Amino acid sequence: MVVQAEEGRLITSCACILVATAVPAERDAVARAFPEPAREVRLPGAPALHRTGTGTAYDLLAAGVGPALAAATTATALTAAALAGTPYGLVVSAGIAGGFAPGAPLGSLVVADAITAADLGAETAEGFLPVTELGFGTVTHRPPADLVRSAATAAGARTGTVLTVSTVTGTAARAAALRARHPGALAEAMEGFGVAEAAVAHGVPVLEVRAVSNPVGPRDRAAWRVGEALAALTTAFGKLAPVLESWNRHDR
């Protein structure tokens, strides 16, 4: 536990890391990276946390599908920790995702250097306008650059924008439109921006890590490699844990 001074008051911060996935299968894939069995920790109004790790505790949370539910559930966990006097030092949004070819092929890992809400805005006759161009809100959160570099190096991951969408892309035309609006995009998922919104509201740094299970574009379930992506997620967290723990203790 670390004590920091901020604006004349003392704040106690925990060495704990919150990992938010969409579904239990992703949560369990992360858990398999740790030799210790996870134990359940109940939260009011939210799914149970699965706590694992030695020294640094990892609270693994299946926060739900989509940005709204992911944000609400993550915020519940962050609030509960803050009220207990042990706020999290880092939040990681993790799971599988669609990858934009050729930058993120099946089985590859992506660490987000930008977490962007791809469809938060308005359609106009001239094209899509992000909510920022309408004069309010934000559409991108940027994880700490040093953490992104260290995490990507440790996991052998690519770095780029991970888009958050409320509707998964199912056509080549939409995939092309997203890439045109977001040239740095490597992956598409449904929760990262919601998790980031909750983390930023609590003043906690956020990271997003994705294993690519399918290409972004026409839906071809026969081409999906969900099992391989989940295995890649497990391997990634085995390599990421020392980096996350070191950064959480010293660099933030």
**pTM as predicted:** 0.90
* Angle at which helices 67-83 and 192-201 cross, to 10°: 30
At 11 the pLDDT is: 36
Burial of 220 (0-12, 13-18, 19+ CB in 10 A): exposed
Closest among 18, 180, 252, 207 to 109, alpha carbons compared: 207
pLDDT tens digits along 201-213: 999 999 999 999 9
- Other CB atoms within a 10 A radius of the CB of residue 165 amount to 22
- The answer to whether the peptide bond before residue 35 is cis (omega within 30 degrees of 0) is no
pLDDT tens digits along 137-185: 899 999 999 999 999 999 999 999 999 999 999 999 999 999 999 999 9
